[in-house]
């Protein structure tokens, strides 16, 4: 059977680049839809232009287009069996621009699977989060609901906290880098490496078991309390850190007074780590506990069960890689 042709929208982003790499590594003909200002000579951002050159050198086809330009979307999708979105979350509008992608998928008629830009926590309790997380995750939820209503074949990836976001700062979005003398401790979290999440996504796009499902990526060994994370850092740097514990009221105040994107990151920390809102999905898994599939309803599947031979980068391995 011919390998599915994959189109990634948002392939120059922090998450999208891993999805493009995983698609190429799995041997899929892979295209990346890129805004003209991002690609080619005279590109706005030299770092993204260089990234695109690397993706091209690894075999990706670069296609000019824009989510806001329907014709360009339809033209790019005519050569795609699978569309993966990795658009960002700078605003609810950016998230909801994916409704335009869905309209183009419906007009094209040949796309067999769509993966919307999620790659985070489950969204059911988004309305209980602090702003701006409530609006941004609320927009993700509206895209999810529109997707279900549209009958576009899809898979939604819930991969919780990416390694690259909180681990290098020992769990504190406000930190400038790794902890040196003191550290702020929030709570527990599921940490999944971006490359592993991308490998799982590419496996899932051709898998009938993930059709129209939420696919959770919850390797039990990657559920880590922030206390464990700080202990790992202490072992690695060979000294004890001064521990600061933050009260919920103080964290709420910081969310309300910080600029974007820090306020979004702190609001996610508030919901996931402190208030335990969407971590409910993580709490269902206990390390060494019951089969993860027992915790999924009919609309949900668990990557560790579908792809049991997959090895996941652990929190400790990731931190080891950060320290030279
Ligand atoms: N769980 C976690 O810890 C975690 C962490 C980070 C992100 N995420 C999630 O991962 C997803 C991607 O986020 P990110 O941080 O990787 O995003 P990002 O770095 O901001 O990248 C956004 C991408 O979307 C593209 N894009 C935006 N508007 C476009 C348009 N009109 N037409 C075509 N392309 C457009 C951008 O292209 P240009 O290069 O042209 O700007 C860029 O490639 C989001 O859903 C986010 O919530 C999860």
What confidence tens digit (pLDDT) does each residue in 67-123 have?
999 999 999 999 999 999 999 999 999 999 999 999 999 999 999 999 999 999 888
Helices 70-77, 98-108: crossing angle, 10 deg rounding: 50
Tell me the catalytic residues: 140
Closest C-alpha to ligand 1, atom 43:
10
> What is the Å distance from ligand 1's center to 314 Cα?
24
Better pLDDT: 65 or 123: 65
Residues near ligand 1 with C-beta < 6 Å? Answer: 9-16, 33, 35, 38, 48, 66-68, 86-89, 94, 97, 117-120, 161-162, 165
Tens of pLDDT, residues 251-301? 999 999 999 999 999 999 888 766 654 443 444 433 333 444 455 678 999
Q: Coil, helix or strand for 96?
A: helix
The rounded percent of the chain whose pLDDT value lies above 90 is 67
Least confident piece of the model among 46-60, 82-96, 277-291, 304-318:
277-291
- The domains found in the chain, sorted by start residue, are 6-163+191-219+286-308 (3.40.50.720)
Residues 120, 136: contact at Cβ < 8 Å? no
CA angle 305, 111, 86 (to 5 degrees): 65
pTM, rounded to two decimals: 0.93
> pLDDT value at position 285?
38
Task: Tell me the average pLDDT of the chain.
Answer: 89
């Amino acid at each position: 059977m011919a390998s599915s042709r994959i189109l990634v929208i948002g392939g120059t982003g922090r998450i999208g680049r891993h999805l493009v790499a995983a698609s190429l590594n799995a041997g899929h003909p892979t295209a990346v839809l890129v805004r003209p200002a991002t690609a080619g000579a005279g590109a706005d951002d030299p770092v993204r232009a260089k990234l695109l050159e690397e993706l091209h050198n690894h075999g990706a086809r670069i296609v000019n287009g824009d989510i806001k330009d329907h014709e360009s979307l339809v033209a790019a999708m005519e050569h795609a069996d699978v569309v993966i979105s990795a658009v960002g979350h700078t605003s609810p509008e950016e998230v909801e621009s994916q409704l335009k992608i869905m309209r183009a998928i419906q007009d094209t008629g040949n796309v067999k699977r769509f993966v919307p830009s999620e790659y985070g926590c489950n969204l059911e309790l988004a309305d209980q989060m602090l702003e701006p997380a409530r609006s941004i995750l609320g927009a993700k939820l509206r895209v999810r609901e529109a997707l279900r209503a549209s009958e576009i074949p899809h898979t939604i990836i819930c991969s919780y906290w990416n390694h690259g976001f909180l681990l290098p700062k020992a769990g504190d979005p406000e930190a400038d880098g790794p902890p040196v003398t003191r550290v702020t401790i929030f709570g527990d979290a599921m940490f999944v490496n971006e490359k592993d999440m991308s490998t799982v996504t590419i496996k899932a796009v051709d898998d009938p078991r993930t059709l129209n499902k939420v696919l959770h990526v919850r390797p039990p060994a990657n559920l880590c309390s922030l206390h464990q994370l700080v202990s790992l850092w202490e072992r690695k740097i060979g000294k004890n850190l001064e521990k600061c514990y933050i009260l919920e009221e103080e964290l709420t105040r910081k969310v309300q007074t910080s600029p974007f994107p820090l306020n979004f990151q702190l609001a996610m920390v508030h919901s996931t780590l402190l208030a335990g809102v969407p971590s409910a999905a993580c709490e269902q898994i206990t390390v060494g506990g019951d089969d993860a599939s027992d915790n999924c309803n009919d609309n949900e599947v668990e990557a560790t069960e579908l792809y049991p031979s997959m090895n996941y980068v652990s929190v400790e391995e990731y931190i080891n890689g950060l320290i030279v």
